[in-house]
Amino acid sequence: MALNILVVEDSSVMRAIIIKTLRLSQLPLGDVHEANNGQEALKVLDGNWVDLVLVDINMPVMDGEEMINRLRQNPATADLPVIVVSTEGSETRKEGLLQKGAGFVHKPFTPETLRDAILRSLGGSDEQKAGDGTF
């Protein structure tokens, strides 16, 4: 089963790095959508099936935390797996994001780090999913 992923990041360079890293992660990728901020991401989610969202925190227009709040308030997206990909170092902020059901990957990251976080967010063991491609 291929994963449809939405990458929400205001830096086009960082979005490209995340997408390249996803391709190196050996996960079965389907469509990879992109958005510059949380507001654009919500529009993308309105018109596309997405299995997982990778989101930065610090963005203009609508930051990642506000986007996560809106996802959790909407019954259609309340259970959508979200992983924050950020340089954020505040343990208090990270704890708040974890309480909202978001995973966390600290920049910089490796393909393996990103893959393992995605597999954890989707449930089940990393080894099982990496080995058989099931989700």
pTM value? 0.88
Contacts of 74 (CB under 8 A, 6+ apart): none
Distance between CA atoms of residues 20 and 15, nearest Å: 9
CATH of region 3-132: 3.40.50.2300
CB 78 within 8 A of CB 71: yes
One-letter identity of residue 27? L
Q: Quickly state the pLDDT bin for 124 (edges 50, 70, 90).
A: low
Task: Please give the DSSP secondary-structure letter assigned to residue 89.
Answer: -
Task: State residue 92's pLDDT score.
Answer: 87
pLDDT digits (tens, 9 = 90+) for 44-74: 999 999 999 999 998 999 999 999 999 999 9
The order of strands in the sheet holding 3-8 is 29-35, 3-8, 52-55, 82-86, 102-106
pLDDT digits (tens, 9 = 90+) for 80-116: 999 999 887 688 888 888 888 899 999 889 999 999 9
